[in-house]
Structure 1
């Protein structure tokens, strides 16, 4: 069923294509040849450019965050080394030891504080250093230029127990942690390095070292690496954004981070709004994240798209103009040839004006003009000869009919006169005068209405011979058909055949004459309910009607059966050619039906030709 529908659609498309004019076909082909390559090139260029820009961005971003990771890892290692250096200070262990023994350790704390202060001053990335036990803080040194230090964090926002739990995870190694501090209505991120302090000799736990890192070191790292203002970069630890440059959707970033499985390479996520790159920092279990809006990244692609649209529009305008010019150049001579052929069909044999072309169309026009000249010559030289011969044949055919039917009429008058002198004789004479008036007219065509009146007069005369009740005539003609002009005495021979060869052997009967306009044709029907025609004889009649040779009948068949029909058919062929048809059907004891069909255009054309011939003959007589 689906294949059938597809075939029907394909056939309808082909049918529609064959109905449209050549100029539309030419434009359609031009558009297809130009726009398909342009669209394909545009789409491919757009896709390739988009992919190249995307790959270039991913590659550039990968290099940026890898460089940022290297610098952050270097800082991490450097700060881890500082915590290791702190563990080498003897004052540290003296303070821890004396605090455990509840001995005064003020001098040791002062010495240790001085060393911590030197470390802070020498390393701007260190914001605060503190020593704690599980129960209390022993020593804290802050960078006085910073707002927040360890003395404000521990144990007020991060308990000593929590600090110990974090440090214990490292088993003596440094552990990095991130905390979100609440200060008034604002939140601030704190990055701590915690480390358990074990006795060098006994390796037993004695305290906790906490170093608070200045988060500005991440901001400096990002500012040196990121040049694109629209690109955002951040370092994230413990699901907290430690440092962020630019705007990014933090909720979606955290969602993407939860899906990261590759702990080594760059992972890229693409959505309708953002392109996100994530790179893990294994040393501290952090992530470096970059994000850029898709519309910013593809800003150049949008420009390319606009240029492609403009290019397509300009191509449409230019190609339309060129296609119209070319189509007009091709169609002008083609239309000239088409119009000339239409004029020839109407009988106007005129040449095409010189279009000054030397191509194939010019050669075609020259050959067409040459053909028209030759046709004009043939028409002028042979036309009168053909008309004269045609007229002679028509007159011969008509003269073959007139003597016989006049003989029959005179026989009826003679029969009536021998019977007795009655008033009916005058009616017969009047009808006869009408018939003779029509026969003597020089007009070759009569209206169907005049032909019907002629047949009515003719049948009224024959009723005297047959009897009023034994011969009936029924007429049914369309009103529009009454004014159509047909050859004179075209129907009368058919009616006469029906009466004398169909009804007379039977003794009574009815003749039906019909005229109808149907399917741009005039249909004339003559039907009787007489004895009909035997099949063998009907076959012979049809053969005579189909042949073009003269019909020679035996003496016993000079009953006018075939000669009348053959004459009618030959007149139709001479006047209308293939625009007229003749058919005969008959059944023994059932009757005979004869049907003539003539195209309406052929009827009017034959009358016009007759008028032209008549006017031409008049002019010759005047000369």
Structure 2
């Protein structure tokens, strides 16, 4: 496939590439649009369902709270507790009047609380068989509750919390509804049970709420076993919820298939044992988005065709001058450097032809200049080789002079010549960028010896170098400019002491200190020196007030050189007091950060 593409002409390659670049993004765009649209539809349906679920859940939770408040009111209201206790202790000998007074008190207290809650049915059962009910008990005996299995469980348990029973056939004659949602709570005092309160909720309010949804959308309340407690279709109450195993593990949403149609299912906990479940069809919400997708596809296809026509015309216009440029390149490749394309125009191809012609002109000029430069370079190298002095010859002559002076008994001058020879050897030999600290200190001992022979005043060089620092590699001629600076500016070219101290700092870096016993500096002069050392770029050595150092670098260049080698790992301190000398402290790693 790749070989076939290479054999195509430039025009065909461009046409094929343009078609691919137009069609492929369109396909990818449609796929991505379809993917995002599908997610958007699901998100929209889920959001609508959540909003509807939130409203319904608030209403259902409000009804459940009413039931719970009623049970808590009967348990904790002091004015109703005493008549209940009186009824719980009644027997055959208790006067009927006392029973009537107790029930009347209970009825008045419950009527005060239950007034706005017309859809609640309350039953109060006592262990001695006495009871109280807010409904007519002509066709229903409340004592039959003791035969219920859930009542047996609540009687045997020792807890104080309410038990949510579920849907029970309506035993209230005041309502035409077929079912009641019931909950029961034991009435206990100091660990002893003195009664049970059963609250039933007429499902008319919830069924009216659920009936507001579309026919293909349903909302139900189920218990922990998946049994339907409330549904707008009364025939399904008490039956298992068909999609109980597909409920979300927590309060959330999931998609399920119902008769080949996709639904979004959401659930919310309304009591510890009951859940509110809502099922919303996905297809109806997706139809509008599908229509939008078809319109979007049509617009994309129309622009695709339009862009292809325009681009093909542009390709045809561009290929002619490009072909001419290719022919020119082929002729230049064969050695005809005088060939030019002569392509004109204000567009990119015209500028390309112009720049190409100018580039060939510069190449011809560069070839000529390179040839001339190589000739001049060869002449310069020859002259440099002819002018170079063999360093070994110079060192051998100095050693011969030293031996002759020693043979005459002048050991002092012989030692001076030896120091000069060692210093010149280190100065001329620049092959090694780094030397050991031990070698650097030795070179500076020779330098001080020569310095003392030149001037009448004697300078004492003291060295205190830790043994574990002597073999560390440092840049060549690092200490000599600092010692020269201490002699000229610190000691003022007079007698005094210069001390070299080296140790390993706590962070493992090498710390080198150069201290003199000279005149020192005022705080203002010290601040000026520090500012000058931090300034960039560093001034050349020729601008220093002092004479150039033997190594060809000055104090400022030493600091700049260390910054270039060790980067941010190098730092320094300068301490000085007037009349007490100056101390320069250098800290840098045992290995350079980068090659210089």
TM-score by length of 1: 0.39
Larger Rg belongs to: 1
TM-score (norm 2): 0.41
